[in-house]
């Protein structure tokens, strides 16, 4: 166990891992960086290998989805990104993020002794609050997807007062939910193992178990949700997640449609009740 502020080192992560074929063969650790996603995008451009990982104690410009910032307090969370070079078409990127969400949940469960869930598309949920998130960014070139950077942020040792007022009502950490200090090195090792196993499955075309896992963990399915279109809001019922990780919903008119991008609020989650 670590005290929650101990520095993460590549050797400590590697010492807790089994043999990984790709993910984690190179691990770059930083005390401070703008964003581990931005770093991997920079080195991807100059040819860094498939599976390269970046971990930071602290990010000064941690980024979330939809242009939001991601709170990255020093030593209190796991801020980890991986560079992948999968043979995927641009339309296969939404599914990739869903598959990664399932792998992240498996790792958090193993390291933290918890049962995490997913809010579509890829918020990681623990006991109804946001434990972390995933930001997947593609590098597109003339030949299609040249690389993907998948960045994962997980809250580990934050107490409620460590979150800003904006985030505190919806966020949680492994320590807050379990009362225990979870080793970030063990969490990082579990995450790299799960991402490596997922990457193998992806290259073999055998991702069905991850889709099944995603569906089983998805708190959005079966719930009333509010679609957040630009300015408009619409209440619909989430029915299922399809094979491409689109959200199948029934509109008030009775029409059934599949949403592939965008944001939803789930009734009963994150304080949304109406």
35 part of the interface to ligand BTN, by CB under 6 A: yes
- For ligand BTN, which is the closer residue by CB, 7 or 251? 7
Of 34-42, 171-179, 193-201, 266-274: span binding ligand BTN (CB under 6 A): 34-42
- For ligand BTN, which is the closer residue by CB, 24 or 153? 153
Output the smallest distance, CB 72 to ligand BTN, in A: 6
Whether cis (ω within 30° of 0) applies to the bond prior to 191 is no
70 part of the interface to ligand BTN, by CB under 6 A: yes
Among residues 14, 26, 58, 65, the one that binds ligand BTN under rule CB under 6 A:
65
Considering only residues 116 through 145, tell me which ones interact with ligand BTN, judged by CB under 6 A.
123, 133-135
Tell me the CB-side half-sphere exposure of residue 78, using CA atoms within 13 A: 34
Among residues 23, 57, 81, 112, the one that binds ligand BTN under rule CB under 6 A:
81
How many other β-carbons are positioned within 10 Å of the β-carbon of residue 211?
18
Of 31-39, 101-109, 167-175, 190-198: span binding ligand BTN (CB under 6 A): 31-39
173 part of the interface to ligand BTN, by CB under 6 A: no
Strand pairing category for 27-33 and 53-59:
parallel
Which has the closest alpha carbon to 205: 243, 261, 152, 241? 243
Among residues 23, 48, 51, 62, the one that binds ligand BTN under rule CB under 6 A:
62
Residue 84, CA distances (Å) to 31, 36, 57 in order: 23, 14, 22
Residue with CB nearest ligand BTN? Answer: 133
266 beta partners: 225
Cα 48 from Cα 83, distance rounded (Å): 8
Output the smallest distance, CB 142 to ligand BTN, in A: 27
Cα 203 from Cα 199, distance rounded (Å): 6
63 part of the interface to ligand BTN, by CB under 6 A: yes
- For ligand BTN, which is the closer residue by CB, 27 or 134? 134
Cα 121 to chain centroid, rounded: 10
Which has the closest alpha carbon to 86: 180, 202, 206? 202
Output the smallest distance, CB 150 to ligand BTN, in A: 8
Which has the closest alpha carbon to 135: 52, 70, 201, 202? 70
Chain contacts with ligand BTN (rule: CB under 6 A)? 35-37, 59, 62-65, 68, 70, 79-81, 123, 133-135, 151-153
């Amino acid at each position: 166990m670590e005290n929650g502020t101990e520095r993460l080192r590549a050797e400590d992560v590697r010492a807790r891992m089994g043999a990984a074929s790709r993910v984690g063969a190179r691990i770059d650790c930083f005390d401070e960086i703008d964003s581990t996603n931005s770093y991997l995008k920079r080195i991807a451009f100059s040819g860094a290998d498939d599976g390269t990982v970046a971990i930071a104690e602290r990010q000064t410009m941690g980024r979330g989805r939809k242009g939001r910032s991601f709170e990255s307090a020093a030593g209190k969370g796991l801020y980890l990104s991986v560079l992948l070079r999968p043979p995927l078409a641009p339309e296969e990127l939404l599914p990739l993020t869903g598959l990664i969400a399932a792998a992240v949940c498996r790792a958090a469960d193993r390291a933290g002794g918890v049962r995490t869930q997913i809010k579509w598309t890829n918020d990681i949920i623990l006991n109804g609050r946001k434990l972390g998130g995933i930001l997947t960014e593609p590098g597109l070139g003339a030949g299609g997807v040249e690389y993907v950077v998948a960045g994962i942020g997980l809250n580990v040792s934050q107490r409620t007062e460590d979150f800003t007022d904006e985030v505190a009502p919806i966020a949680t950490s492994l320590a807050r939910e379990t009362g225990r200090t979870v080793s970030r090195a063990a969490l990082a090792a579990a995450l790299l193992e799960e991402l490596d196993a997922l990457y193998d499955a992806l290259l073999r075309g055998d991702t069905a178990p991850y889709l099944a896992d995603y569906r089983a963990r998805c708190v959005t399915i079966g719930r009333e949700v509010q679609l957040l279109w630009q300015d408009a809001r619409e209440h619909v019922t989430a029915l299922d997640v399809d094979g491409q990780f689109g959200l199948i919903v029934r509109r008030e008119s009775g029409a059934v449609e599949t949403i592939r991008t965008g944001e939803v609020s789930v009734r009963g989650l994150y304080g949304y009740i109406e």
